[in-house]
Amino acid sequence: MIAEFVTFTHPDGTTRAEIVEGALAVLPRWRAEPDLFRKHFLVSQDNRQGAGLYFWHSLEAAREAHNAEWIAEKERQTGAAVTITYYDLVLMLDNETGSVVQPE
């Protein structure tokens, strides 16, 4: 399993309400990804830095979802570079359910 951390900068003056509205608008796209099993939408306290934390079944699926076309569109929307970092998911703790997942 792969954890993918995507970061970008919101345009000046972007409000939290606009960020939430944008996140809600893209939910159907991410729900349709069969190899994505979790996504977190993140924003800094000042609304400038945005991030997505994705959990994928494979690196190939992550790279396909965030391909050059997606990156170019996000950079066009924000006017800033997108950074993507991949991690192997070693262990996942969920305190709400009391579960621990250790991927093979």
Cα–Cα dist 72/66, whole Å = 10
* Residue 41 phi, psi (nearest 5): -95, 125
Per-domain boundaries in the chain: 2-101
Q: 94 in helix, strand or coil?
A: strand
For the stretch 15-59, pLDDT in tens is 999 999 999 999 999 999 999 999 999 999 999 999 999 999 999
Q: Tell whether pTM > 0.85.
A: yes
Assign 23 to helix, strand or coil. helix
- Tell me what pLDDT residue 103 has: 87
Chain position carrying tokens 């796209």: 29
| pLDDT given for residue 76 in this prediction | 94
User: What's the CATH number for 2-101?
Assistant: 3.30.70.100
Confidence of residue 6 (pLDDT cuts 50, 70, 90): very high
Beta-ladder partners of 55? 3, 38
